[in-house]
Structure 1
Amino acid sequence: MNHRLQTVNPTVKAVAVLCCVVMLSFIYNPYTPALFYIIIVAGVITAGRIPLKKWLLFTIPFFILAFGCLWTAAVFGNVPTTAGNLLFRLGPISVNSDNAALGVSIGFRILCFSALSMMFIFTTDPILFMLSLIQQCKLPPKLAYGIIAGFRFLPLLKDEIRIIRQAHRIRGAVTASGLKGKLSAFTRYTIPLLAGAIRKAERTAIAMESKGFTGSRNRTYYRSVTVRGGDWFFFLLVLLLFSASYAVSLFFL
Structure 2
Amino acid sequence: MKSMIMGQYVRRDSFIHRMDPRAKLAGLFLFLLVLFLANRPAALIPAFLFAALVFLATKVPVRYLLKGLKFIAIMVILLFLFRMLMTREGTVLFELTWLTVYEEGVRDGAVFAGRLFLLLVLATVLTLTTTPIELTDALERLFKPLQRLGLPAHELALTMSIALRFIPTLFTEMEKIMKAQTARGASFSNGSLVRRIKALVPLLVPLIIQSFRRAEELAVAMEARGYTGSEGRTRFRRMVLRPSDAWVLLLVALTGVCIFALRG
State TM-score, norm by structure 2.
Answer: 0.64
**Aligned equivalents of 1:61 and 1:241: distance in 2?**
26
8 Å CA contact 2:155–2:230 kept in 1: the answer is no
Alignment of 1:46-195 (within 5 A): 46-80=56-90, 85-134=91-140, 138=144, 143=155, 194=216
Q: 1:235 maps to what in 2?
A: 249
Structure 1 gaps, min length 5: 162-175
Contact 1:86–1:95 at 8 Å: present in 2 too?
A: yes
Among 214, 222, 226, the alignment partner of 2:240 is 226
Residue of 36, 42, 47 corresponding to 1:31? 42
Q: Helix, strand or coil: the match of 2:89?
A: coil
Give the 3 Å change call, closer, same or farther, for CA 145–87 of structure 1 in structure 2: closer
Tell me the equivalent position of 1:215.
231
Instruction: Point out where structure 2 has 5 or more consecutive residues left out of the alignment.
Output: 1-11, 174-183, 187-200
* Distance in 2 (alpha carbons) for counterparts of 1:187 and 1:44: 38
Whichever of the two has the greater Rg, that structure is 1
Conserved 8 A contact 2:140-2:156: yes
Deviations 1:188-229 (A, max 9, x none): 9977984x6565444322xx68xxx9725xx86431111111
**Deviation sequence 1:97-140 (CA, Å, 0-9, x none):** 22211111111111111122112111212212223345566486
Report if the CA contact (8 A) 2:22-2:138 is conserved. Answer: yes
Q: In structure 2, what residue type is equivalent to 1:100?
A: V
TM-score between the two structures when normalised by the length of structure 1: 0.66
Does the CA contact (< 8 Å) of 1:135 and 1:225 recur in 2? no
Look up the equivalent residue of 1:117 and give its one-letter code: A
Contact 2:15 2:58 in 1 (8 A): yes
Find the counterpart in structure 1 of residue 191 from structure 2: none
% identical aligned pairs = 16
2:258 and 2:157 mapped to 1: Cα distance? 40
Q: Report if aligned partners of 1:86, 1:97 keep a CA contact under 8 Å in 2.
A: yes
Q: Secondary structure at the match of 1:98?
A: helix
1:8–1:234 contact (8 Å) kept in structure 2: no
Highest RCO, 1 vs 2 (Cα 8 Å, sep ≥ 6): 2
Contact preservation (8 Å) 2:38, 2:259: no
